[in-house]
Structure 1
Amino acid sequence: MRKDSVIANIADDLGLDIKQLSSRKLRIVSRASERYFYVNVDNGNLYIKDRLDRETLCGAEASCYLTFDAVVENPFNIFKVKIEIQDINDNSPRFFHEIFTVEMIESTSSGTRFSLENAEDPDIGINSIQSYKLSDNQYFTLNEKISNDGSKSPELVLEKTLDRETQVIHNLILSAMDGGNPMRTGTALLKIIVTDVNDNFPIFSQTVYKVSVNENTPVNTTIITVTSTDMDEGTNGQVTYSFRKTSGNVHYSGIFSINPVTGDIKINHNLDFEQTQNYELSVVAKDGGGLVAHCKVLIEVLDENDNAPEISITSLSSPTPEDSAVGTMIALIEVHDKDSGKNGEVDCKLSEDVPFDLLLSSENYYRIVSTSPLDREKVSIYDITVIAIDRGSPPLSSRRTITLEISDVNDNPPLFIRDTFFAYVPENNLPGSSIYTIQASDPDTGDNAKIYYSMATSDTEDQPATSYLSINIETGVIYAQRSFDYEQHKEFQIQINARDNGSPSLTSNATLLIHIVDRNDNPPKILYPSPDSGGMAAFEMVPFDSEEGSLITKVVAIDPDSGHNAWLSYHFLHLSEPSYFVITQHTGEIRTSRVFQEKDVLSHKIVVMVKDNGHPSLSSTVTLNLLIGQQFPTGGSQIH
């Protein structure tokens, strides 16, 4: 059939919906048949890819088949397809030699038969050789001999006694005809040479020899011996052996050798059952007078377990998403062993403890499927080793490792190491400076692990916290937008949100408490005596008769700072000598230091300094005028 001829509609034969052939990925899988056939997924037709030659594919086999697997997916299925190649009469009979010679002694009796060379026709059945014909002559006729295996061989029959002196050479045309329509014919020139008397032919002990040989039989081993006898004497009785070359066995001549004297047939090269299982040799025995006899030697090669199984990956889904359902097919593998029988039967298994199983799909195909959920964050790559062991003795094995990558899905939200974070920031900080870094982690990969940060907060009394703070969305670094004042805001509570870039994205939250740390940036504030006196010193009247240690007045001050920065101490500045008054350092109480005398100065100006405990410390001062008098009537004071 011509190239691109339609053989059949494989979709109809397999019961497949033509509309689904493309989506189900209908394809041909074969080690050899893919070069001869192809399928069209649009119409389901099976076509011839290249011209077929049955004789090249199958030789002289009675039946010729090519097989392949038709594979579809969704759901997965495999169909065995067997194509029979039918013979046509496209080969003519052919003699290996266009001219061959038969030597015949002149004393040969009428009726003597002479075996002739067979013609060959690689066609089979009726298209193969059906008959032979000899050109018209007065001395010979042709007979067809049927061998034990059913093949026909031409025999030359002497009908009339020869006379060498009258005619030494007889040239005849031997024709072979097949049974095709139209019939094909092949011819050869038969040259008959009449010789002097050698009236006994060699005779083989068997017309067909059979022997079975293991394929690992060593080179130079004698596998069989052919024998023949010749009743003549001298050179006419000396037989030599040789292989008769034909188109069928010409390729075997280097594999075997025959001893021309003993008839021993030996192996010259290693045999391989996987290449050739049977050999047919044609052996010629020729005596010294030129008479010949023929026999066949049939050699059967027996299989040895000399081929390990072969593992092929026909489909692999890598990478596989980690959220794949249990039972998802990861790979499809084909296992093949060139040996036959038990030697070619293969068992498969997985070597490691992995969450996958090996399921037999058809005669030579296995599916690797998942048996438990996958988690890329635990295992991102699996090395799955398939071991194939045949059933030979001893068994042979092979292994194939499949590397499977697990692809990420966004199944993990960003995670903070704790729920609440604390930051301490001194007040009066520089605007724009970073004050804290908060980060989350995500065990996913790629965009699924890329984290963006944002913050949310409730408003403070006067302004929202976002006016004070900002966050870098990629790094999680938090910046102060403004300078903090501890006396206005002592802390901020911020909700930090971490969102990954997966689809859909996942989020998590954490709380950040920012405590503003006080700095000594406020001096003490004097409440009493009141600093609002317009620059005038405060006046205090002191009774002249006050006893030593009497409380005269008290300086009262506060500090808006906190902690050590708000610890106050009180001191006199520029105190006159001798000293009439003392001040308590921690309370600010001013008391008399002794009893007053008539000669004492009665008017005193005192400067009080209030100092905090910061570093460096800050201070404030206040001036008091203390006037000492005898008495203080309701109407006024009498001053001395």
Structure 2
Amino acid sequence: MWTSGRMSNAKSWLGLGMSLYFWGLMDLTSPALSGTPTPPGRLEAFLSDKAQPHPRTKRSWVWNQFFVLEEYTGTDPLYVGKLHSDMDRGDGSIKYILSGEGAGVVFTIDDTTGDIHAIQRLDREERAQYTLRAQALDRRTGRPMEPESEFIIKIQDINDNEPKFLDGPYVATVPEMSPVGTSVIQVTATDADDPTYGNSARVVYSVLQGQPYFSVDSKTGVIRTALTNMDREAKEYYEVIIQAKDMGGQLGGLAGTTTVNITLSDVNDNPPRFPQKHYQMSVLESAPVSSTVGRVFAKDLDEGINAEMKYTIVDGDGADAFDINTDPNFQVGIITVKKPLSFERKKSYTLKVEGANPHLEMRFLNLGPFQDTTTVHISVEDVDEPPVFDPGFYFVEVPEDVAIGTTIQIISAKDPDVTNNSIRYSIDRSSDPGRFFYVDITTGALMTARPLDREEFSWHNITVLAMEMNNPSQVGSVPVTIKVLDVNDNAPEFPRFYEAFVCENAKAGQLIQTVSAVDQDDPRNGQHFYYSLAPEAANNPNFTVRDNQDNTARILTRRSGFRQQEQSVFYLPILISDGGPPVLSSTGTLTIQVCGCDDEGHVLSCSPEAYMLPVSLSRGALIAILACVFVLLVLVLLILSLRRHRKQPYILDDEENIHENIVRYDDEGGGEEDTEAFDIAAMWNPREAQAAGAPKTRQDMLPEIESLSRYVPQACAVGSTVHSYVLAKLYEADMDLWAPPFDSLQTYMFEGDGSLAGSLSSLQSATSDSEQSFDFLTDWGPRFRKLAELYGASEGPAPRW
């Protein structure tokens, strides 16, 4: 559509002029002018046939390559160009059709006039060109009047994009003290405009902030140092603002900025310095080795590896008593104790300490030495120290036969303090649980308290303590190792029970056993044992002993022809002696059995009963005989059991059993042993016993008891044997005040029928509720008197009850 306004005419003329311009360019390079045949249907620029000075082939299309500016902001459609066919006579019979990229959406065409307009805002940065196709149709028939051809609409750039730093903001580092012109970093800005058209994309860099320290190359964007001797310790961080402007930096160009954060990295350009030239410290004399005394610090303005410090002691009288180490975390010097200190020996020390940088840079050596020194004064403070032993370890050797109370070592300790307090000695009992040793509390003399036995304990490790009298908390200790030396106090002996055998057919001089011995002693030159027959068997006709001189001995036969029936076992005593001194010996017994052997000396049997059986009896026959004997034995036992079962009643007559015990034994003492110890018939009827004649000797009386009966006073003696014996026992009990009141006096317990004295048995007292009486005077005295009266004891001086 075409409007009649002035603006529309201007736009039309502008489009027509550009079309003519580009048509002229294309026509000069067209194949028609160059003599090359024109492909059929190609679109060409056309103004009028009369304008051509030479005849040419008639072309159907007249067209241009169109250009249109981007970012059109007007309200009317933007005229792009005009398509025209030479077959169009202006009567409207030709219809123009536009197709391709953006047809109908971005671009429209007047189907009668062929005018092309842009109906949307165009942006070259989004799309630089469009490819479209044009076609001319007969409006009446719709038949193509011309072949369809392509043409291009290019979007012409304008400066509508500012430069941008896509990688910003930037971070960079440069060493301090860098020379002028040192490259720091390169920044880059990009412009979205067409770099091939005009100056819209030509960028120029400049510094807006950061001068005079840094500069930037206007073309490359490389940032460099612009000031010498930039000191990190004075200023470490810089914020530099860089501007990029297009149009070559001319007025009216667009610009963009970015920030560059630049940090000065440290270099070792500062020496260390001690903030104070004198340090005063103190330490206790009891401070252990490697304990800390104090710290020194040399300040360095640098950082990181450039601030690392190394401290050393370069002079002073305390270089051998103290040491210094560097703390890598805080770069301080730690002074420590190198060896034990003593207030009494030296009260103060002086150290000269140096602090230096181990990492140096050659270009800064002209600044002076990179180290500094300071003086440290250390005072040693006195403390109450425990007693100290000299020497600090004791080793003692003592023989095991040393007498109890023998002094084996003098232990010595002293107070290291100036006061020199008195010391008391003792033994740590946890180190001597057996209490084998004793130490004198004042002199420190170590003595034996028990017999020593090397075979039980060959080493003793005890701890002797020393305590200050004025301060019991101050206790020193010293280890004492005691080695118990061996003495010959154990005789050699056989290590086990030796048992050998000799064949009946053995020959004289035949070896039957090799024996050895052991000794718990451990002489320095080793053990040496001597073997021989014991003195009581020196002339033994059967066997002999041969010493092998290697602590062993051989047992040999002295004769031939041994017989089990005569003697099946021999016991050979062997005397074993050691080398002393003193010489100790013991006797060991070798048991030798006589055995039956075959011709090659193999044992067949060592049991003498085996030879009483027939020689021709086989093993099967022997088993059959033993089985028969076993069956007969079982039958005999079964028969005896049945007979006993028939004779024994099912219910026992308890009364008869009790009566029998009373009548036959009548003994309330020790039981059956008493009835067998003496003749109970003699006590059953005393008168018959007296008439029988001479009394029988008592079998139950011990010799010493019989002797006591001889010393019974005559006034107490009676003719009756029973009377005499009772009086003798009564006198014996009367004379022994410490004899216990036992009531098992079975030797005179017969009381006769209807005894008035009552029973003396313990059975009755056991069943009674009252406790047994142990009083001679109140319990047993009256009973003995009653017995004396019953048996007619003559009156006389009463015995003492």
- Which one has the bigger strand percentage? 1
- Which one has the bigger helix percentage? 2
Answer yes or no: same fold by TM over 0.5: no
The structure with more radius of gyration: 2
> TM tier, shorter chain?
0.3 to 0.5
TM-score normalised to the size of structure 1?
0.42
